[in-house]
Structure 1
């Protein structure tokens, strides 16, 4: 049985993972723009592996509904990063 606490936890995990993912993406782009390639090349697969592992763990633990909640959290984390870093160019 799916509880509200499980859904909220999945959403929170997704939001934190999404924010971390998109903050690292922003850092990678800044490094690439500065001509540094090695660190962004290492961060790219790391971002995807960590995000994928977290989504896999959420799906294994709770099924489809928490996975959807985590996905919604990732979108919220992305939006938060976009709003937080607005004008930082």
Structure 2
């Protein structure tokens, strides 16, 4: 998978007039080969950078199963605490 800084596709998601959003516009960086998001850049209305995330060395089809994401997976040793009122 290509690094975000290298050759990639970008999709700009712009702010709609009359709506108030956290970000004025967002650039989603898409890997050309796998068509997966590999980064996101978020700006406010004054073009000030708010967030910039990128992913590299992503492994796809790594053999994960539904149990890898299940709360019933005892290997996680997750303790779920009741929420306080």
More strand by share: 2
Q: Is TM-score (shorter-chain normalized) higher than 0.5?
A: no
Q: Which has the larger Rg?
A: 2
More helix by share: 1
Question: Which TM-score applies when normalising by structure 1?
Answer: 0.24
Q: Which has the higher contact order (CA 8 A, sep 6+)?
A: 1
